[in-house]
């Protein structure tokens, strides 16, 4: 199943690349791409097998997201964001919710925002939620929203899943990059969420499915972001090499330039090293989980550091490509879009400098007794 899904993802290169400009013009993925994700089973990559999904392990997941992101970064971003929401709903929600969501002929599309929470008040049978949320990647394709809240009475962070019709969508996606993700904002006011339709945000205890879901939401999300960076970084280097072979780019700085050749070798080496670190970290983490163990603090640190390092390495690759791409990088087209998308991708919270700082604290032995809570180190007893 894993190899088959990766091959299906690679088979979408033509439509993803060919409809990249149309997707940007729409501010969302085209209907053809959305339909292809359904038809190829890609939306189900992290859905538990017991619900008909692929339940992909981390290394196989990297391949799938990398293949889609290589062809169109916005499509890879939507796939990993939506796939996360669908898969974790299938694993962590209550039986009544899962029976309704996964009872149709195809998987539900769930999108939203799971970092900055809205508010929730407990009442009999569930929660009343409200607030405003941003960056709901893929919500234009969704029937349901995955949204973070903090329960007022306890402070507990939870994820709620509600029909998209209960929210007010705000058409405000005017951005530099990842334009086709349609990551608009939304609000909700006094929406009731029945008990089975929410789950603890930080849970690593699956109701359904296997070891994948013992990673918890944030670490499954990090698989997606790592795969995205792998695909975009590889595509930029391939595009730049193709330009050099065509004698394109900034005059005197590509094919015949020693400066370019050295720089390209360094960019290639940096990217390959960062990619190897990411795959090593995920391979080690998966070996631990598959053997029945729990991730150590150090393993969690390395997953976060590998993602941040890979993301910022790809940023450096994009800067090198832009400096050497001349007017090809300036004008509308593939290279310009890739460079813009990388700038947007670096702004995600998973690669923020605060995460890197916390990684440094743990690696240097400056955070004794602390463990990771979401994207920061904290006292595990609190």
CATH code for the domain of 40: 1.10.540.10
Summarised one tens digit per residue, pLDDT across range 8-40 is 999 999 999 999 999 999 999 999 999 999 999
Q: Please indicate whether residue 64 or residue 117 has the higher confidence score (pLDDT).
A: 64
The H or E element containing residue 372 is strand 371-373
Summarised one tens digit per residue, pLDDT across range 306-325 is 999 999 999 999 999 999 99
Mean pLDDT value of segment 31-54: 98
**Domain assignment of residue 238, yes or no:** yes
Please provide the average confidence, as pLDDT, over all residues in the chain: 96
pTM of the predicted structure, to 2 decimals? 0.97
Summarised one tens digit per residue, pLDDT across range 236-273 is 999 999 998 887 665 556 778 899 999 999 999 999 99
The residue from 83, 101, 119 where one domain ends is 101
pLDDT at 249: 60
Summarised one tens digit per residue, pLDDT across range 168-212 is 999 999 999 999 999 999 999 999 999 999 999 999 999 999 999
| Residue 52 neighbours by CB distance under 10 Å | 14
What whole-number distance in Å separates Cα of residue 277 and Cα of residue 299?
12
Are 22 and 88 within one domain?
yes
* pLDDT of 2 over the 80 cut: no
The residue from 141, 171, 200 where one domain ends is 200
What whole-number distance in Å separates Cα of residue 112 and Cα of residue 149?
12
CA 75 to chain CA centroid, Å, is 11
- Structural domain range at position 194: 110-200
User: Helix, strand, or coil here: 210?
Assistant: coil
Instruction: Give start and end residues of each alpha helix (H) in the chain.
Output: 2-10, 13-18, 20-26, 31-39, 58-71, 73-92, 95-101, 216-245, 258-290, 297-330, 334-345, 353-363
Are 127 and 260 within one domain?
no
**Domain assignment of residue 205, yes or no:** no
**Domain assignment of residue 150, yes or no:** yes
Half-sphere exposure of 267 (CA within 13 A, CB side): 25
**Domain assignment of residue 206, yes or no:** no
pLDDT at 311: 98
* Among the listed residues 201, 176, 180, the one whose alpha carbon sits nearest the alpha carbon of residue 346: 176
| Residue 159 neighbours by CB distance under 10 Å | 25
The pair of structure tokens assigned to 161 is: 């899943």
Summarised one tens digit per residue, pLDDT across range 125-169 is 999 999 999 999 999 999 999 999 999 999 999 999 999 999 999
Are 240 and 334 within one domain?
yes
Q: If pLDDT is split at 50, 70 and 90, which confidence band does 114 have?
A: confident
Are 91 and 150 within one domain?
no
Are 238 and 317 within one domain?
yes
The residue from 146, 181, 200 where one domain ends is 200
pLDDT at 327: 87
The H or E element containing residue 2 is helix 2-10
pLDDT at 250: 59
Domain total in the chain: 3
Are 223 and 370 within one domain?
yes
* Among the listed residues 319, 93, 106, the one whose alpha carbon sits nearest the alpha carbon of residue 205: 93
Are 181 and 239 within one domain?
no
The pair of structure tokens assigned to 125 is: 């049978």
Are 90 and 124 within one domain?
no
Radius of gyration over alpha carbons of the chain, in Å? 21
Are 12 and 84 within one domain?
yes
């Amino acid at each position: 199943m894993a190899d088959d899904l990766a091959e299906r993802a690679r088979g979408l290169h033509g439509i993803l690349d060919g409809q990249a400009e149309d997707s940007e013009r729409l501010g969302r993925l085209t209907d053809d791409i959305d339909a292809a994700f359904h038809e190829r089973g890609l939306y189900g990559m992290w859905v538990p097998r017991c619900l008909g999904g692929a339940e992909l392990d981390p290394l196989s997941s990297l391949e799938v997201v990398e293949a889609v992101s290589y062809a169109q970064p916005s499509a890879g971003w939507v796939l990993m964001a939506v796939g996360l929401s669908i898969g974790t709903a299938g694993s962590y929600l209550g039986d009544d919710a899962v029976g309704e969501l996964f009872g149709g002929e195809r998987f539900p599309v769930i999108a939203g925002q799971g970092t900055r929470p809205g508010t929730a008040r407990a009442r009999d049978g569930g929660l009343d939620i409200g607030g405003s949320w941003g960056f709901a990647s893929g919500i234009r394709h969704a029937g349901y929203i995955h949204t973070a809240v903090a329960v007022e009475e306890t402070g507990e962070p939870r994820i709620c899943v509600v029909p998209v019709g209960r929210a007010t969508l705000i058409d405000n996606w005017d951005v530099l990059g990842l334009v086709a993700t349609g990551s608009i904002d939304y609000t909700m006011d006094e929406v009731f969420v029945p008990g089975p339709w929410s789950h603890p945000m930080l849970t690593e205890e699956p109701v359904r499915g296997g070891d994948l879901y013992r990673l918890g939401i944030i670490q499954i999300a990090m698989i997606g972001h790592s795969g995205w960076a792998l695909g975009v970084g590889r595509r930029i280097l391939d595009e730049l090499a193709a330009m050099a072979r065509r004698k394109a780019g900034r005059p005197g700085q590509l094919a015949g330039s020693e400066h370019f050749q050295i720089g390209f070798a360094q960019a290639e080496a940096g990217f390959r090293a960062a990619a190897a670190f990411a795959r090593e970290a995920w391979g080690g983490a998966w070996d631990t989980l598959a053997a029945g163990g729990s991730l150590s603090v150090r393993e969690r640190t390395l997953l976060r550091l590998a993602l941040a390092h890979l993301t910022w390495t790809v940023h450096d690759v994009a800067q090198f490509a832009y400096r050497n791409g001349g007017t090809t990088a300036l004008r509308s087209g593939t290279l310009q879009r890739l460079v813009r998308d990388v700038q947007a991708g670096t702004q995600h919270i998973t690669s923020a400098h605060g995460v890197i700082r916390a990684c440094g604290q743990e690696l240097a032995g400056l955070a004794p007794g602390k463990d990771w809570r979401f994207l920061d180190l904290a006292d595990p007893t609190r």
